[in-house]
Amino acid sequence: MSITPTLADRLAQNRANGQVSVSKQALFSRRALPTWAQLGLTPYLCVFGACFSLYLISLVLVWDQFMAVRPFFSGDLRHLGLAIALNYLVLMWSACIIQYKLQSAGLQRSGWGVTVICFILLNPLILGWAVAIVVLWRAVAAYHLLQAEATEKAQ
């Protein structure tokens, strides 16, 4: 069983060998990277984007209720709370799938467990949005890396 080194491992190995700056494409040249279609992240990113949009809207509504600037809801808030919690769980699930797929492809070092811990520890009402932005940023970075690799192979 061979363990393929991740990008961080290859960077550390190159720094130890005296090579300070090496492009990401050169680091991945020894290993065949999957294409974006082979990763299959597009449906999960669509779910992630929809849930993140609903989460941001519901976050604004909840903070509006807490600050009592203008009461949006006059009745029972249990249904809104349940909807927000379910949306947050689906957001966390899709983020974990994205992180797992990126890690299994060797494009990411941290896995889905770190994402779950961050989603739970960073309160959904205060900093839960930061984890979602980091996951989205990593997926976009992986997309650009794979597109650059595909265009380099095509030339």
Structure tokens at 67: 């600050």
If asked whether residues 39 and 59 sit together in one domain, one would say yes
If asked whether residues 23 and 47 sit together in one domain, one would say no
Which residues of the chain are under the pLDDT cut of 50?
1-2, 22
If asked whether residues 92 and 19 sit together in one domain, one would say no
Question: Taking the CA of residue 111 as centre, how many other CA atoms within 13 Å lie in the half-sphere pointing to its CB?
Answer: 4
Model pTM score = 0.70
If asked whether residues 64 and 17 sit together in one domain, one would say no
Number of domains in the chain: 2
Residue-wise pLDDT tens digits, 107-140 = 888 778 888 888 888 877 778 888 889 999 989 9
The closest alpha carbon to 49, from 13, 115, 94, belongs to 94
If asked whether residues 72 and 2 sit together in one domain, one would say no
